[in-house]
Structure 1
Amino acid sequence: MFVPSNLHSVLSLRRVGDPDHDATPDPKHIEAKVFVAFHIIGGLGNLLMLITALVSRRVNRHVTWINFCVTWLIFAISYTLLFYAGRQFSEEEPSFPLCLTQAGLIYGAPVLGACSTLSLVIQIWLSLRRIMQKDVQGEKPHGRESSLLTILLVLLPYVAWFGTVLGALVVGLHDTSKVMRTNSSVYCVIWTGVPGRVSAGIVAVILATAIIFQGLIAALLYRSWGAYQKLRRMDKNTLSISMVVRMGCFLVLNIITVSQIVVFLAQKTVIANIWISLTPIAAVAVFATQRDILRVWTFRKSPEYY
């Protein structure tokens, strides 16, 4: 799920100068512990999916799907960088380089996840269109998209991510006093509105584009459902309808999450952090439950793909 990264209001919901900002932090760090635990679970799940797709001959996935797992793993690590550095619950403030690095990463993480999902949606649309066109022309579908296009789909998330992170780092270096860990000890932020608004705007555009391509996929399947079923019976390795449906479910979850974040902003509640930490878990729940992956994880020998 994609979430606007307006960190001074959405992620921590505490602002410098507000009465809540100087309140005594929770000595048990309950919010931070739940946040970190969910991200670790989601990160490990995405890592397990990635390893399964790379080492198992029974799981056939496009490189954009592989890249999807990599980006959500980076997403989870970005939000738990303080934990892995051993500074998550320390009473002493983390060093400025560490804090600035995490602040930059968490502004870029939603953009990275959004772009990798958009790339996967575009790849699904291109694959279905190629399959249907070949069938209409009476030819047997073969091959995949051009290597150049595949490279662009893989690199796009990292280009957008790098630009967003770099911009946030520049803002943090311009005013180092704004770079600090939140009172909830969840992560480091840059207490200005610029990086958050930029990240949120980019994510909104990417999400809208992904929805458009998902609509094109639905329209294509509606027009050519008979041809798709015939091709699926002929070749079990043809793009599964399960992948299309799961991709649609993942986008619906994104829309719901963004809507909830708007509600949280109005109500000034810290539960938004929990929604963010559930994002990598949602990716695992949607895509790790495909039959071929479950068969590998449960040591079942059937080579059937789903």
Structure 2
Amino acid sequence: MNVLDNSTLTADYNIVHGTHEQLVAFLVLNMWPSHLGLPVLLVTILLSKRIQRHATFINLCVAFIIVGISSTLLVYAGRTTGPEPSRMLCLLQASLLYGMPPLTSMAAFTLVLQMFLVIRAAYQGEEYLDRDHVARLWTMLITPYVAFFIGVLVTAIVGANDPSRVSRNRRFFYCSVQSLPLTNTITIFAAIVLLATFVIEVWTVLILYKRWTALRAGGSSLRWSMELNLPVRIMGFGFYIIIAMSLSLLSIKSPSSPVPDLVIASAATVVMLIFGTQLDILRVLFFWRKDSSASSHPESVDIIKLGDGLLGYDKELPKTPWEWARPVKSM
């Protein structure tokens, strides 16, 4: 979400010049993953015994479902075009969306941090177990929602104190609150979190590169080729983070462009493409297709377990309400 404000303009002055086609694209990009793609992915993960994902990944999916539903609230009320929606509905959507940058940036950060902690431990010859870091686990799971609710609450207070600052026409795609200090604070916070995420991504890639060079030196090309899947996805996710950071700068230089809102609206689709196309998920979704990979590569059992470990699967995770991932069985 492009949250730049211009305090010299009235609250209903249109600063984003979008077209009807762009509005449709914005709504589709938000609706299909939040109403279909991500729920199907979550149900597949939670119900399948063959798929394990860490709770931080579940958090990321839930975050983008919240974002997608919040971005399309006006669809349910039939107020995406035409007369302005009611102040209460508009303030509700604006509050939810202004909590979006803290929520999504923190959810992405905690997922990448979890990957980094597990990969670093494996590189050091140690085993990273969540049960040994219960406080850290809970902090990683709760922090995104704390940041989200703070953003929602502060925006609601600002908008309620001066309802004339709340409008849909100003941002074209969604309702917003005209408050330069508020939006700048949210933007800066999200940018700092994304920068920290990018730094951890680079650190992770460096560790994986060292492992790759060590495996090549030992002649383990087959093993490396089978482990390459996750690093590629990490780098893909990191590439999207770079785009998001660039869009923050673009929104400052060109607030009238609808491009930042449209590209950021594609975030959930990016998550689906990067993480929803992993082999274990595809094997469950396309269950009628015969899987010959296990028989052709019997030595891949340990490698698959290592891949699971990179995502933070413990044999005994803490027994908490947040423990949605199933424990990995001994093989």
- TM-score under structure 2 length normalisation: 0.75
**One of 106, 116, 123 as aligned partner of 1:115:** 106
| 2:254 counterpart of 1:262 | no
Aligned to 1:286: 274
Using the TM superposition, name which of 252-261 and 275-284 deviates more.
Answer: 252-261
Aligned to 1:6: 3
CA drift at 1:131: 2.4
Is contact 1:45-1:284 (8 Å) kept? yes
CA drift at 1:272: 2.5
Using the TM superposition, name which of 37-46 and 201-210 deviates more.
Answer: 37-46
In 2, the alpha carbon distance for the partners of 1:125 and 1:261 equals 25
Is contact 2:41-2:276 (8 Å) kept? yes
The secondary structure found in structure 1 opposite 2:14 is helix
CA drift at 1:17: 7.7
Change (3 A) 1:270 1:257: same
| 2:48 counterpart of 1:48 | no
Is contact 1:101-1:169 (8 Å) kept? yes
Aligned to 2:116: 125
Is contact 2:11-2:165 (8 Å) kept? no
In 2, the alpha carbon distance for the partners of 1:171 and 1:133 equals 49
In 2, the alpha carbon distance for the partners of 1:22 and 1:184 equals 6
**One of 80, 90, 95 as aligned partner of 1:104:** 95
In 2, the alpha carbon distance for the partners of 1:121 and 1:217 equals 9
Is contact 1:38-1:277 (8 Å) kept? yes
- TM-score under structure 1 length normalisation: 0.81
| 2:4 counterpart of 1:16 | no
Using the TM superposition, name which of 260-269 and 123-132 deviates more.
Answer: 260-269
CA drift at 1:56: 1.2
Tell me, which stretches of 5 or more residues in structure 1 are unaligned?
Answer: 136-140
Aligned to 2:74: 82
Letter in 2 for 1:16: T
Tell me, which stretches of 5 or more residues in structure 2 are unaligned?
Answer: 295-303, 308-331
**One of 147, 153, 172 as aligned partner of 1:160:** 147
Is contact 2:11-2:167 (8 Å) kept? no
In 2, the alpha carbon distance for the partners of 1:148 and 1:248 equals 28
Change (3 A) 1:190 1:277: same
Letter in 2 for 1:252: F
Is contact 1:104-1:166 (8 Å) kept? yes
What percentage of residue pairs aligned between the two structures are identical?
30
Aligned to 1:138: none
Is contact 1:35-1:274 (8 Å) kept? yes
The secondary structure found in structure 2 opposite 1:57 is coil
In 2, the alpha carbon distance for the partners of 1:22 and 1:115 equals 28
In 2, the alpha carbon distance for the partners of 1:185 and 1:22 equals 8
Letter in 2 for 1:294: L
Q: For residues 187-266 of structure 1, what are the structure 2 equivalents within 5 Å?
A: 187-225=174-212, 226=214, 241-263=228-250, 265-266=252-253
Is contact 1:21-1:183 (8 Å) kept? yes
Change (3 A) 1:209 1:40: same
The secondary structure found in structure 1 opposite 2:245 is helix
Equivalences, count: 284
